[in-house]
Amino acid sequence: MAEIMVKAEHIEKSFGSTEVLKDISFTLEKGKVLSIIGPSGSGKSTLLRIITQLETADGGSLTIDGDPLFKSEGGKAVYTSPKEMHSIMLKTGLVFQSFNLFPHFSVMRNITEAQRAVLSRSKEEAEARAIDVLKDMNLLDKADSYPSQLSGGQKQRVSIARALVMDPKILFFDEPTSALDPELTRQVLSVIKALSERDMTMVVVTHEMNFARSISDWAIFMENGYIVEEGEPEVLFGNPKEERTKAFITSFKE
């Protein structure tokens, strides 16, 4: 039996009177890649933000790598202790659409700061790890540059590196290429693809349909806070069962 890395059951979330997530359940096994597609406002980002603890859920339960982050009790999501929440947070990494690199730090410091301050690694250890990852991404020559001196594609690769060096068990991508032009998008996608080939467990929210189809082991189509359809990427992207999924996928093929 494969190890389950994410188990989400009946997750609910509202902002004021707007229900953003209505009943979200899915599981993700170790080493697998899940892609989540759907129109804007369907709740994809909110779902990632709940799993990475940038938002709190209202209801449901969520288990990350065997540790429960919150459980459903009396219809409400009850979170575990702050200490446990922190240790679960360290198992997840998040790559943002807008990179969110620290502009006042060099590339090297962007990648080493959290290793040292959060994981208490030594300077040498942190830098060695950073150099390894930067080499992989072909960015070693940019180690002393500042984010403002980088292209969008380079910035996004640095932000992936920043998440990777923390050795997360699961890496989440929130529309990682939506702020990039097609050429820079390719650079970033090839990095994510390389990670999937190394069996990194990942969840990718994206509008890049062909890419999602080629790297994922499982795909989810979300709309209005619900999972409309999920399945093998070949089926979901090639021959979806639901009319709404079909319409959404075709709109990208023009």
Which residue, 18 or 120, has its beta carbon nearer to another protein? 120
Report the distance separating Cα 184 and Cα 153, nearest Å: 5
Residue 94, beta-bridge partner list: 172
Report the distance separating Cα 117 and Cα 138, nearest Å: 26
Interface residues toward another protein, by CB under 8 A: 52-54, 86, 89-90, 92-94, 96, 98, 100-104, 113-114, 117-119, 146, 148, 159, 162-163, 166
Which residue, 95 or 236, has its beta carbon nearer to another protein? 95
Specify whether the CB–CB gap between 215 and 196 falls below 8 A: yes
Question: Smallest distance, Å, CB 55 to another protein?
Answer: 10
Which residue, 150 or 249, has its beta carbon nearer to another protein? 150
Specify whether the CB–CB gap between 91 and 65 falls below 8 A: yes
Question: Smallest distance, Å, CB 187 to another protein?
Answer: 21
Which residue, 38 or 93, has its beta carbon nearer to another protein? 93
Alpha helix positions (H), the chain? 44-51, 82-89, 107-117, 123-136, 152-164, 182-197, 209-215, 233-238, 243-251
Question: Smallest distance, Å, CB 183 to another protein?
Answer: 24
Which residue, 164 or 249, has its beta carbon nearer to another protein? 164
Question: Smallest distance, Å, CB 42 to another protein?
Answer: 20
Report the distance separating Cα 215 and Cα 14, nearest Å: 31
Tokens 């390894």 locate to 132
Question: Smallest distance, Å, CB 241 to another protein?
Answer: 35
